[in-house]
Amino acid sequence: MTPDHSELNETVLPRPERAILVGIEALTEESRHRMQELLELVRAAGASPIGVMVQKRGRPDPATFLGHGKLEELAGEVANEDADMVVFDAELSPTQVKNLADQLQCKVLDRSELILDIFAQHAHSREGKLQVELAQLTYLLPRLVGRGVMMSRIGGGMRGGIGVRGPGETKLEMDRRRLRRRITRLNRQLEDVRRRRDTERQARRQSGLATGSIVGYTNAGKSTVLNALAGSEEVAAHDRLFETLDPTVRRVDVGAGLQVMLSDTVGFIRNLPPKLIAAFQATLEEVVEADFIIEVIDASDPEATGHHQATQQILDSLGVLTTPRVIVLNKWDLVSTDSAQAQTLRTDFPEALPMSALTGEGLEQLQSQLRNLVRERRVHVTVRLPYNHLELLNLSHSRGRVLDTDYQPEYVVATVEVDEETLGQLRPYLE
């Protein structure tokens, strides 16, 4: 008997939302890369880019972003292509959102809201969800009027999707006072998160292990590098933008009996909105408190140098440019050694380590550099420990190295290599 597939044939999967991308062309190479990045962000959010429109002008129109003629052309494209949304490669003002929604009769998103939507999809822990909601509500507060107009334009048949994830449509019913109350509560909850994280960091400090943070542009392979160092696949690593949102801290053996604590962080991106950085302060504090930083760069990306510059700007805003850093050129297996790309990378990053976290190439060299960083944090001292304080000898062994011991009648003379925190406990017994 032939199976009846009529029911399967009638099943229609929901199509991705169709998006038109809009930007201002400043006739620079960077602006072209920005539009390519916007396209990747739209795909990461789950939409289907169906068109790109760029206007050559020095600055956006303060009322409608685009000029009058270009806006009419865009409205025609939206109607002809049955577009669900238009995504602008800029941060739109509340006035621009309202006017554009009036003209285009569809969802209007800017770059910041698109990134927030991707973050909302990838936030799984309570902390991550709190941070995303805070960023979304902070973004929404000055845009309530324009946002309400936009949602009324797209009508009751709207099935949700990009731009309406996270707190949900109930946020449209909130007045500014209720929004501010909710933002205040979220800040209090995140302050609790910061205190808890600070307690956890203090506990890690007491272990005497050096702490490092892995940073870099989104999708550079940070999680894959952490997995390679840890020798496991416990951290989710996928070829998607902003795959890592909730930070992960792992104890990693770097050889020669040395261990470090490494944290994986949210990926960076050009022009990451300052409010977003502020909302993720609890997560980014892992970078601020780190003893060293591993910056991961996607060596196969033509924009590798630009991505490094964007990372530099964010690290500068966090005040950690002087923190010791190892730069890793990841995905080196995808770069031809005699190519122009390889030559550019060697010129731009002469101290960087070529590596493939996927194949293991360069892993031993990275471990060696991390061992050197750990040793640079340690000092050699000689102490005289009374026999009723031999626990300090054990502490020196667990947090560093005991290089020599001489057991005398009243005390033990020990030469040790320890970090600054352990040295503080040994200081009363220094020779």
In this structure, are 371 and 396 located in the same domain? no
Q: Answer yes or no: do 95 and 233 share one domain.
A: no
217 plus 358 within the same structural domain: yes
Residue 411 lies in a domain: yes
Kindly tell me if the per-residue pLDDT of 2 is higher than 80.
no
> Looking at the structure, do residues 289 and 415 belong to the same domain, yes or no?
no
Q: What's the domain range around 398?
A: 378-429
Flag whether pLDDT at 239 surpasses 70. no
Per-residue b or e along 94-107, where b marks 16 or more CB atoms closer than 10 Å to that residue's CB: bebbbbbbebbbbb
Residues 241 and 109 in one domain: no
Domain boundary, last residue among 151, 173, 195: 173
**Dist. CA 337–CA 352, nearest whole Å:** 15
pLDDT above 90 covers a percentage of the chain that reads 42
Instruction: Give the number of other CB atoms < 10 A from CB of residue 352.
Output: 19
The residue-averaged pLDDT of 354-366 equals: 95
Query: Which of 118, 147, 173 corresponds to the end of one domain?
Result: 173
Query: Are 368 and 383 contained in the same domain?
Result: no
Task: Summarize pLDDT for 250-270 with one digit per residue, the tens.
Answer: 889 998 878 899 988 878 888
Q: What is the pLDDT of residue 243?
A: 55
Query: Per-residue DSSP letters for 230-246?
Result: HTS--S---SSTT---S
Q: How confident is the model at residue 160 (pLDDT cuts 50, 70, 90)?
A: low
Least confident of 83-87, 188-192, 357-361: 188-192
CATH number, residue 57: 3.40.50.11060
Determine, yes or no, domain membership for 185: no
Whether the per-residue pLDDT at 28 is higher than 70: the answer is no
Whether pLDDT at 192 is above 60: yes
User: In the prediction, which pLDDT does 240 show?
Assistant: 53
Average pLDDT, the chain: 83
Q: Which residues pair with 262 in a beta bridge?
A: 212, 250
Helix (H) or strand (E) holding 23: strand 18-25
Q: Which of 339, 354, 375 is the last residue of a domain?
A: 375
Average the pLDDT over each of 86-90, 115-119, 240-244, 298-302 and give the range with the smallest value: 240-244
Q: Is the pLDDT of residue 174 over 80?
A: no
Stronger pLDDT, 245 or 367, i.e. the higher one: 367
**Residue 1 forms part of a structural domain:** no
Query: pLDDT at residue 228 above 50?
Result: yes
Q: What pLDDT shows up at residue 190?
A: 86
For residue 93, give both structure tokens: 């003002």
Say what the pLDDT of residue 29 is: 61
Within-domain flag for 23: yes
Instruction: Say how far apart CA 400 and CA 12 lie, in whole Å.
Output: 62
Query: What does the pLDDT look like over 40-68, one tens digit per residue?
Result: 899 989 999 999 998 888 889 999 999 99
- Which pLDDT band holds residue 172 (cuts at 50, 70, 90)? low
**Quick one: 361 and 233 in the same domain?**
yes
Residue 383 host element (H or E): strand 379-386
Residues 406, 258, single domain; the answer is no
The three-state secondary structure class of 359 is coil
In a domain, 201, yes or no: no
Beta carbons of 65 and 90 less than 8 angstroms apart: yes
Structural domain tally of the chain?
3
DSSP code at position 143: G
Q: What is the pTM of this model?
A: 0.79
Same domain (yes/no): 331, 367? yes
In a domain, 8, yes or no: no
pLDDT confidence of residue 3 = 47
Q: 156 or 202: which carries more pLDDT confidence? A: 202
| Residue at 195 is within a domain | no
Q: Among positive and negative, which fits the CA dihedral 85, 86, 90, 91?
A: negative
37-64 exposure pattern, b = at least 16 Cβ within 10 A, e = fewer: bbbebbebbebebbbebbbeeeebbeeb
Cα–Cα distances (Å) from 123 to 10, 18, 118, 127, 266, in that order, read 34, 24, 9, 8, 11
Kindly state whether residues 222 and 278 are assigned to the same domain. Answer: yes
**For residue 198, what pLDDT band results from cuts at 50, 70 and 90?**
confident
Q: Which of 49, 60, 89 is nearest to 271 (CA)?
A: 89
On whether both 296 and 425 belong to a single domain, the answer is no
Around Cβ 342, how many Cβ atoms within 10 Å? 16
CATH number (domain holding residue 341): 3.40.50.300
Residue 154 Ramachandran class (φ > 0 left, ψ -120 to 50 alpha, else beta): alpha
pLDDT reported for residue 155? 46
pLDDT in tens, 277-321: 776 776 688 898 899 999 999 999 999 999 999 899 989 988 999
Strand order in the sheet with 353-354: 248-255, 258-264, 210-216, 292-298, 325-330, 353-354
Any domain includes 288: yes
Highest mean pLDDT among 3-7, 249-253, 265-269, 345-349: 345-349
* pLDDT tens readout for residues 69-98: 999 999 999 999 999 999 999 989 989 998
Q: Based on the fold, state whether residues 212 and 114 are members of the same structural domain.
A: no
